[in-house]
Amino acid sequence: MANHERKVLVQRPDCRVEQCSCGVYHVSFGAVTHRMRVEQLTSLFEALGVALAPVLEGDEDGDPRVH
């Protein structure tokens, strides 16, 4: 088995993102770590942007928009 090395890209109190030498990203929230290809991570980033846009822009009216 090949030796994989991880590089921490961002570390926050509630989450961490690392890139493995094999190209996979490790996204950790608490005790849970998800391994993702760059395409999956990009899709998650875009989805979170859509979900959080009303909150970040102050346009939240109670119920989130459904896409």
Model confidence pLDDT, tens digit, residues 1-49: 579 999 999 999 999 999 999 999 999 999 999 999 999 999 999 999 9
In a domain, 64, yes or no: no
In a domain, 13, yes or no: yes
**pLDDT score for 57:** 82
Question: Which residue spans within 1-67 are E strands per DSSP?
Answer: 6-11, 15-20, 25-29, 32-36
Confidence of residue 58 (pLDDT cuts 50, 70, 90): confident
> Do residues 21 and 5 lie in contact, with contact meaning Cβ atoms separated by under 8 Å?
yes
What's the rounded Cα separation, in Å, for the pair 9 and 23?
13
- Supply 15's token pair: 């989450």
Q: Which domain holds residue 32?
A: 6-57
pLDDT of 62 above 70: no
> Do residues 28 and 11 lie in contact, with contact meaning Cβ atoms separated by under 8 Å?
no
Q: Can you give the pTM of this predicted structure?
A: 0.75
The domain tally of the chain equals 1
In a domain, 22, yes or no: yes
Locus of tokens 């760059």: 38
In a domain, 39, yes or no: yes
In a domain, 63, yes or no: no
In a domain, 67, yes or no: no
In a domain, 51, yes or no: yes
